[in-house]
């Protein structure tokens, strides 16, 4: 295939590289003179490093580079079978480019946009042959990331869609079909993890370092949400968050916080500027504080306490005693703060301490304490638990840290399934490949049972009255009917392809 790439920046050069590596002849064009040649130089240097590490042979490297050619003008792309656009994220610039491309390429040439935040339908609004247009959203770095979201616009035809899918597979990627909706799959699904973490910190429940430790060390996410935002750059994730929030007409599930915005406005963009949620270099997140050296800590359990609490006490070496009037009362609420759970159980909240056991005992144990708790008692308890696990002590909040963040991830994934953003299993695959979560949002629901998540969300919603925590119908119905979360609706979700296939 003759493939044209327009825009030889980070994405265009990556896409050009994978296309050439898969055997396609690639023409690279950029409006800035010299940019396409520089991109080929960068690709060459990177491939050379690969050769040095034994990742490829000198012959293959040479063959890839021979397939990459600079196109001095848009007219030079006239013979292409496919042109992928990766220019600046500006609707007018993209529309003007495609108008120019349509005037030079043949009638069968497929035109693809790599936009990450614009509507594919809008990019191709003025296309004279809209059937041959499509979104192909590669991820950065394109030669490494396996995922490509393939997004049919409202007028994309089946041939174009099939070609885009085949092309993506041919260059070694996993194409996933996404509906033309704000943020497609990955950029939308990713909002839950970070914005709920921001909400936890905004409410003074825990510090960014605590949230990061719980999610990374306790739940296996590759990075905590704050370290992740600092790494991708707040100049990238803040505008994306704001854009997706606006394009979803202020859906409260997608709401960020003032701190996110102020870091962006102050130019404190994370690792690249030396300061974001953390300072760099060398600012390792503040170390945990520790509890008092273990004294044999005693705890009281309420009547009817869950078996998981007894197991936890045994594992942590806590001695369960009859109510002695002084030992802390240990609770394990779901979606409820410690104060409310204690009051409901008829316990003085100043004696209550909550432990998050919603997802079993993790490597990091989260203890949640109400205002008025005796710091010495909490410290002794912590000291004892620390002999077996790491501990984070946080302020009172319905849903601790992990319940809130995981429920937000599951709820948004469920809502995406409900809206037909993609097929349920595809939402999971895209999130695993694009965000490297240990499991996709829907698989996560099945792992712990959809009902746990509706209970958490209902509890938080009851306390906060915030529509952000309203459980998705998709999740609630499957939890109520005891169905797996991937179970499809009887009438298939409407997709952008409806016009083509109906």
Ligand X SMILES: NC(=O)c1ccc[n+]([C@@H]2O[C@H](COP(=O)([O-])OP(=O)(O)OC[C@H]3O[C@@H](n4cnc5c(N)ncnc54)[C@H](O)[C@@H]3O)[C@@H](O)[C@H]2O)c1
Q: Interface residues with ligand X (CB under 6 A)?
A: 6-12, 30-32, 35, 86-89, 93, 97, 114-116, 137-140
**DSSP bridge partners of 73:** none
Q: Which residues contact 450 (CB under 8 A, 6 or more apart)?
A: 410, 475, 478, 479, 483, 485
Q: Where do runs of H (alpha helix) occur along 206-330?
A: 208-213, 225-232, 234-247, 258-265, 307-316
Shortest reach from residue 289's CB to ligand X, in Å: 37
> Which helix (DSSP H) or strand (DSSP E) does residue 26 occupy?
strand 25-29
Nearer to ligand X, 1 or 93 (CB): 93
Catalytic entry in 187, 248, 327, 379: 187
Shortest reach from residue 494's CB to ligand X, in Å: 26
Angle, CA 249 vertex, CA 243 and CA 252 arms, to 5°: 90
- Catalytic site includes residue 187: yes
Shortest reach from residue 97's CB to ligand X, in Å: 5
Catalytic entry in 114, 116, 119, 340: 116
Angle, CA 189 vertex, CA 187 and CA 193 arms, to 5°: 105
- In the β-sheet with 110-113, what is the strand arrangement from edge to edge? 68-70, 25-29, 2-6, 82-85, 110-113, 133-138, 147-152, 174-177
Nearer to ligand X, 8 or 338 (CB): 8
- Catalytic site includes residue 114: no
Q: Which residue is nearest to ligand X (CB)?
A: 9
Shortest reach from residue 114's CB to ligand X, in Å: 4
Nearer to ligand X, 135 or 399 (CB): 135
C-beta of residue 244 within 8 angstroms of C-beta of residue 250:
no
**DSSP bridge partners of 354:** 331, 368
Catalytic entry in 24, 29, 137, 260: 137
Catalytic entry in 85, 149, 392, 415: 149
Q: What are phi and psi of 354, to 5 degrees?
A: -105, 145
469-500 b/e (C-beta count within 10 Å ≥ 16 → b): bbbbebbbbbbeeeeebbeeeeeebebbbeeb
- Catalytic site includes residue 149: yes
Nearer to ligand X, 242 or 374 (CB): 242
**CA-atom Rg of the chain in angstroms:** 26
Ramachandran area for residue 352 (φ above 0: left; ψ -120 to 50: alpha; else beta) = beta
Nearer to ligand X, 115 or 411 (CB): 115
Shortest reach from residue 39's CB to ligand X, in Å: 8
Shortest reach from residue 279's CB to ligand X, in Å: 24
Given 3-state DSSP classes, what are the helix, strand and coil percentages for the chain, each rounded to the nearest 5? Answer: 50, 15, 40
- Catalytic site includes residue 46: no
Nearer to ligand X, 119 or 384 (CB): 119
Enzyme catalytic residues:
116, 137, 149, 187
């Amino acid at each position: 295939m003759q493939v044209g790439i327009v825009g030889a920046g980070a994405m265009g050069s990556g896409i050009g590289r994978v296309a050439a590596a898969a055997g396609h002849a690639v023409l690279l064009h950029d409006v800035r003179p010299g940019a396409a040649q520089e991109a080929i130089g960068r690709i060459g240097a990177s491939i050379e490093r690969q050769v040095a590490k034994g990742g490829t042979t000198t012959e293959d490297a040479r063959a890839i580079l021979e397939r990459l050619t600079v196109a001095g003008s848009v007219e030079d792309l006239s013979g292409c079978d496919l042109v992928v656009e990766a220019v600046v994220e500006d609707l007018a610039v993209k529309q003007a480019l495609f108008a120019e491309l349509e005037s030079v390429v043949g009638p069968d040439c497929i035109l693809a946009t790599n936009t990450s935040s614009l509507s594919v339908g809008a990019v191709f609004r003025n296309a004279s042959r809209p059937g041959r247009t499509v979104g192909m959203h590669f991820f950065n770095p394109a030669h490494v990331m396996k995922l490509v979201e393939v997004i049919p616009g409202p007028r994309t035809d089946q041939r174009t869609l099939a070609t885009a899918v085949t092309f993506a597979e041919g260059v070694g990627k996993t194409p996933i079909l996404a509906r033309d909706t704000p943020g497609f799959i990955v950029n939308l699904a990713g909002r839950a993890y970070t914005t709920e973490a921001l909400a936890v910190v905004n409410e003074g429940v825990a510090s960014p370092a605590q949230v990061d430790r719980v999610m990374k060390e306790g739940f296996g996410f590759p990075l905590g949400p704050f370290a992740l935002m600092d790494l991708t750059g707040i100049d990238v994730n803040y505008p994306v968050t704001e854009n997706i929030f606006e394009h979803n007409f202020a859906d409260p599930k997608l709401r960020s916080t003032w701190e996110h915005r102020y870091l962006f406005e102050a130019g404190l963009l994370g690792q690249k500027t030396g300061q974001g949620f953390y300072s760099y270099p060398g600012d390792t997140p503040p170390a945990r504080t520790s509890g008092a050296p273990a004294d044999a800590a005693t705890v009281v359990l309420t009547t009817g306490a869950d078996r998981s609490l007894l197991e936890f006490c045994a594992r942590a070496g806590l001695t369960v005693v009859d109510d002695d009037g002084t030992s802390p009362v240990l609770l394990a609420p779901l979606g409820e703060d410690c104060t409310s759970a204690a009051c409901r159980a008829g316990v003085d909240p100043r004696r209550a301490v909550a432990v998050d056991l919603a997802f079993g005992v993790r490597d990091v144990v989260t203890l949640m304490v109400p205002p008025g708790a005796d710091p010495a008692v909490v410290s002794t308890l912590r000291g004892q638990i620390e002999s077996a696990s790491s501990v984070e002590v946080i302020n009172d909040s319905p849903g601790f840290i992990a319940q809130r963040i995981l429920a937000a991830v599951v709820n948004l994934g469920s809502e995406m399934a409900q809206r037909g953003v993609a097929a349920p299993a595809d939402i999971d695959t895209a999130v695993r490949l694009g965000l490297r979560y240990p499991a996709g949002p829907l698989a996560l629901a099945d792992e712990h049972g959809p009902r746990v998540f509706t209970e958490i969300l209902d509890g938080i919603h009851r306390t906060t009255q915030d529509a952000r925590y309203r459980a998705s119908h998709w999740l609630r119905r499957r939890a109520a009917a005891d169905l797996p979360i991937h179970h499809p609706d009887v009438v298939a979700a409407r997709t952008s392809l409806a016009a083509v296939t109906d």
